[in-house]
Structure 1
Amino acid sequence: MNSVQSTRKLRFTKMHGAGNDFIVLNGIDQDLSGVTREQWQKLAHRQLGIGADQILLVEKATRPDADFRYRIFNADGGEVEQCGNGSRCFVRFVLDQGLSTKNPLRVEVAHTVLTLKSHEDGQVEVDMGAPIFEHSKIPFIADGLASKQEFHEVLYALPIETPATHDSWIGVVSMGNPHAVQVVGDIESAMVQEEGKSIEKNPVFPNRVNAGYMQVLNRNAIKLRVFERGAGETLACGTGACAAVVSGIRRGMLDSPVTVSTLGGDLQIAWGGITNEVAHPVIMTGPAITVFEGETSI
């Protein structure tokens, strides 16, 4: 009897942005209070649940300059600050579900408000805000790490123990969530799975980090793979694409705009750099696809 009484149904929509897949839940018209980390994990499990890289919650805004609020939970059940591909799916969900007719929308995330615009061709444009380089705000502890200057970017030698001890030279940036970006010669042979978890949990990143591997094709095109904290390697990472382009421009390797080819599809990233010591916002454009809708019990 108790197990029956404690069971409740949730309506959901399964979506993806360039292969980065999400469970999207309407927290305005249904009660999502009290859901535990373990329950988020079960929903995201690909064999025992719906399956997703992240779970997105649509909620009422808590500040007057936003239309909605959205929260993000990784597949491990932990809440995170930002998700670029998820933000595009968010605006597509809100418009398709009739929750708003506004276009563009202003959406509240953990530390800022994003501006999201749906285009007639189905692409969604997101003003991701300005990148963050201040170590305390990423957060990143550089003490004791070797460093070198490459154009406008400072790179740090991050010790990696898997599969053999070596240093990876990384650029560090936050897009509302932390990223460690390294350049590789061949994206196919990059040791994303072998090294990603070690980088993600390196103690120099107190809140863990997303590990990005970037292959530069030309000054306006890269290939990218990302090992996301709490999710492992995903088919695409929107904030990872933004971080990689920012790092590449600061290293003198790239010019805006940049086509970012991920395992799941292409994203367009534009960044105007830094003017008078003020960083311009990063603009991301890409797809947002609804896969199916359903109902599940927790």
Structure 2
Amino acid sequence: MRVPFIKMHGLGNDFVVLDARSEALPPIGPATVAALADRRTGIGCDQLILLEPADTADFRMRIFNSDGSEVEACGNASRAVALLHGRAAQVETAGGLIAVEPTGCGARIDMGVPRFEWDALPLAYAMDTLSMPVGWDGLEAPAAVNVGNPHVVFFVPDAEGVPLDRLGPEIERDPLFPERVNVNVAQVTGPASLHLRVWERGAGLTRACGTGACATTVAAIRRGLIEGRAATVHLPGGPLEIEWSADNRVLMTGPAAESFRGTFDWGDFA
């Protein structure tokens, strides 16, 4: 069975998109996802995106990290899918309903309302999520935000100086986070500017993380670290514009692009 795919990326965070909205695909499992995501023997990607029909939205977007785990949200993939769809849409995700709208070479995404309750992250037990009384090897007192998926945000003097490749997997899998967690290290670089690096659960260090940029901006606003309710977030792959609107919704604007298209034999990866 030959299956078409679309390779896309948002600021270097790359995806294999499978469009099953009009023609169903066989059930996809973690082993198939991991095989397709392998950069040496598969197509290669940070996440695999599966588009399916939906009853209460224009379509459904399922998101799988490169290790095969299914997750709730991906901001960069949402922009890529908006570009692919070509018009405004309501999209069902495991993290809730989002609104997408293409804007030239990118898209604007309404990521919904952020959550701060400890059991909405979730955490293993109750604690203050604005300044959590925990730390790992010099990284201390993170903020926790759920923007469709869970994030902890550490504000540091030098984001580049943090050994995130070592600390990221340790924090991601700490028992405090029963569903694992995305790890952000952020540096305030101006009154409305942040520098951000992200260890993404199930994918590792990434050139860009849209939900991480959203969570970090919200956390910075809650702590009074930036002015107003919007920021430019500079990631290794480039900048994103994030706004936490007066009606409590998180809006993300940034680029996305199609890289190439092709086909593969499903049986080679099943």
TM-score by length of 2: 0.94
* Counterpart-to-counterpart distance in 1, 2:37 and 2:147: 24
**Match of 2:215, SS?**
helix
Select the residue among 183, 201, 211 that pairs with 2:173: 201
- Are 1:155 and 2:136 an aligned pair? no
Which residues in structure 2 correspond to 1:48-197 (within 5 Å)? 48-63=41-56, 66-95=57-86, 103-119=87-103, 121-143=104-126, 154-160=130-136, 165-166=137-138, 168-197=140-169
Select the residue among 286, 290, 295 that pairs with 2:254: 286
Which residues in structure 2 correspond to 1:23-42 (within 5 Å)? 23-42=16-35
Quick one: structure 1 residues 87 and 270, their matched pair in 2 at CA, closer, same or farther if it must change by over 3 Å? Answer: same
| Identity across matched positions, percent | 41
| C-alpha deviation, 1:94, in angstroms | 1.8
Given that residues 89 and 99 in structure 2 are in contact (C-alpha distance below 8 angstroms), is that contact kept between their aligned partners in structure 1? Answer: yes
Corresponding residue for residue 222 of structure 2? 250
What is the number of equivalent residue pairs in this alignment? 265
Given that residues 54 and 75 in structure 1 are in contact (C-alpha distance below 8 angstroms), is that contact kept between their aligned partners in structure 2? Answer: yes
| C-alpha deviation, 1:167, in angstroms | 5.2
Paired amino acid for 1:175: V
| C-alpha deviation, 1:297, in angstroms | 1.7
* Counterpart-to-counterpart distance in 1, 2:244 and 2:28: 38
Corresponding residue for residue 100 of structure 1? none
| C-alpha deviation, 1:166, in angstroms | 4.6
* Counterpart-to-counterpart distance in 1, 2:99 and 2:259: 24
**Match of 1:140, SS?**
coil
| C-alpha deviation, 1:25, in angstroms | 0.6
TM-score by length of 1: 0.85
* Counterpart-to-counterpart distance in 2, 1:35 and 1:142: 33
- Are 1:265 and 2:238 an aligned pair? yes
* Counterpart-to-counterpart distance in 2, 1:83 and 1:48: 24
Paired amino acid for 2:187: Q
* Counterpart-to-counterpart distance in 2, 1:166 and 1:187: 13
Corresponding residue for residue 5 of structure 2? 12
* Counterpart-to-counterpart distance in 1, 2:66 and 2:28: 14
Paired amino acid for 1:125: R
* Counterpart-to-counterpart distance in 1, 2:51 and 2:236: 27
* Offset from partner CA, 1:32-54 (integer Å, 9 cap, x none): 23222111001001111111110
Given that residues 157 and 167 in structure 1 are in contact (C-alpha distance below 8 angstroms), is that contact kept between their aligned partners in structure 2? Answer: no
**Match of 1:155, SS?**
coil
- Are 1:217 and 2:201 an aligned pair? no
* Counterpart-to-counterpart distance in 2, 1:15 and 1:167: 33
**Match of 2:239, SS?**
strand
Deviates further, 250-259 or 24-33: 24-33
Select the residue among 40, 45, 48 that pairs with 2:38: 45
| C-alpha deviation, 1:159, in angstroms | 3.7
- Structure 1: runs of 5 or more not aligned: 1-7, 96-102, 148-152, 274-278
**Match of 1:139, SS?**
coil
* Offset from partner CA, 1:77-106 (integer Å, 9 cap, x none): 0110000011011111122xxxxxxx3211
- Structure 2: runs of 5 or more not aligned: none
* Offset from partner CA, 1:185-226 (integer Å, 9 cap, x none): 112211211100011001111100000010100121011010
* Counterpart-to-counterpart distance in 1, 2:130 and 2:85: 40
Paired amino acid for 2:121: I
